[in-house]
Amino acid sequence: MGRREDVARLAGVSARTVSNVVSGTVNVAAGTRERVLAAIEELDYRPSEIGRMLRSGRTGVAGLVVPDLDNPYFAELARKLIEAARGHGYTLMIEQTDGVRDRERELLARADTKAIFDGLIVSPLGLTDDDLSRSARTQRPVVLLGEEPHPGFDHVHIDNFVAAREAVEHLLGAGRRHVVAVGAQRTVRSSSSLRLSGFEAAMEAAPDATAQVAYVDTFTRRGGYDATRALLHDGPLPDALFCFSDLLALGALRALHDAGIAVPEQVAVVGFDDIEDGRYGHPSLTTISPDKEAIAQAAMDALVRRIGGDESEAVRVLAPHRLVERESTG
């Protein structure tokens, strides 16, 4: 690949003129332009993105920090985010944290130091306000996804409380009277606390119904499987499960099937996330469907706005969700 000097020499102009042709921001005589373009073609010259980055201070790269691409919710979200980023002329660098707080902190710190992003979209699990405000010193904007807002940061989310309540109301409305919330967590701070609150709110409005909470270790199929097994072993059979994620629900479905319990006849199941797997499984999964495209779009919009220098107060964007009824609730 030729360098700009070589192109200039071949075209019989100065190096600066080559730049003018390439950037197109300055008037260049038609004849000159053609000679330069020919020389560029001839020598296979391509301007260096890194030089431009250095000069302009912009990289056109945004970081995405998610717990885990294995998780279909994040994989589907990442897909939409990559598309949204492309729409803004941005490329995404993806990092995984496995929900480990130290990894999340480390990546935030790297955003200050080694990294090259213009900004960062973070889906945190274990970060505290303190972790975040410590990193707020950075010049680089951060947009948060997920349940919890943090003061001073843009935040894109769905109304988890209302969504959870609607899911449970759907179960109650179908006549279910013993509903178990699957997905509370003892270890992790308050992830999903809004979903739990929504569950509780719906249950309190139905005094004749029994509410129960099942704890899980991880938001995985195995977590849902193990929790449901324990549930079936320990006590009376409920007639509905509200799982805090589709993965949990898929694990629960499997455990119910293994125990010979019919879904939805004996137990109805609702999930949360609307991942593709839930649509083709047997039975297909009723779930809360967050508008992932809206989330991705809003997050990139906010990030690009901040990168553009917007210093206004942090915004909270509410993306739509809807309840999708499928076979698992009849």
Partner DNA sequence: CGATCGGATTGCATCGTGGCAAGGCCGCGC
Partner DNA sequence: GCGCGGCCTTGCCACGATGCAATCCGATCG
What are the residues binding a copy of itself (CB under 8 A)? 1, 44, 46-51, 53-54, 59, 61, 68-70, 72, 75-76, 78-79, 82-83, 91-96, 112-116, 137-139, 221, 225, 250-251, 253-254, 257, 276-277, 279-282
- Tell me if the bond preceding 283 is cis, omega within 30° of 0: yes
Minimum Å distance from CB 190 to a copy of itself? 26
Minimum Å distance from CB 307 to DNA? 16
Nearer residue to a copy of itself within complex by CB, 106 or 204: 106
Site for DNA in 55-94 (CB under 7 A): 55-57
Residue type, 175: G
Identify the bridge partners of residue 178 per DSSP, sorted by sequence position.
210
- Cα(238)–Cα(179) distance, rounded to whole angstroms? 6
Minimum Å distance from CB 141 to DNA? 18
Q: Which stretch binds DNA (CB under 7 A): 20-28, 181-189, 213-221, 245-253?
A: 20-28
Any contact of residue 257 with DNA (CB under 7 A)? no
Decide if 330 contacts 263 (C-beta within 8 A).
no
Nearest CA to 318 out of 139, 161, 174, 209 is that of: 161
Among 51, 175, 236, 320, binds DNA (CB under 7 A): 51
- Cα(233)–Cα(82) distance, rounded to whole angstroms? 44
Nearest CA to 216 out of 182, 259, 179, 254 is that of: 182
Nearer residue to DNA within complex by CB, 33 or 101: 33
Tokens representing 50 are: 């890194």
Minimum Å distance from CB 38 to DNA? 14
Minimum Å distance from CB 17 to DNA? 3
Among 54, 69, 100, 213, binds DNA (CB under 7 A): 54
Nearer residue to DNA within complex by CB, 19 or 266: 19
Among 41, 48, 69, 100, binds DNA (CB under 7 A): 48
Nearer residue to DNA within complex by CB, 10 or 172: 10
Among 34, 41, 42, 47, binds DNA (CB under 7 A): 47
Tokens representing 282 are: 């047997």
Any contact of residue 26 with DNA (CB under 7 A)? yes
In the three-class reduction of DSSP (H, G, I as helix; E, B as strand; rest coil), residue 241 is classed as strand
Q: Which stretch binds DNA (CB under 7 A): 27-35, 127-135, 224-232, 250-258?
A: 27-35
Any contact of residue 138 with DNA (CB under 7 A)? no
Per-residue buried b or exposed e for 60-87, using 16+ beta carbons within 10 Å of the residue's own CB: bbbbbbbbbeebbbbebbbebbbebbee
Helix (H) or strand (E) holding 286, with range, is strand 286-290
Nearer residue to a copy of itself within complex by CB, 202 or 250: 250
- Cα(308)–Cα(26) distance, rounded to whole angstroms? 24
Nearest CA to 215 out of 229, 200, 194 is that of: 229
Decide if 289 contacts 274 (C-beta within 8 A).
yes
Binding site for DNA (CB under 7 A): 3-4, 13-17, 19-20, 22-23, 25-29, 31-33, 46-48, 50-52, 54-57
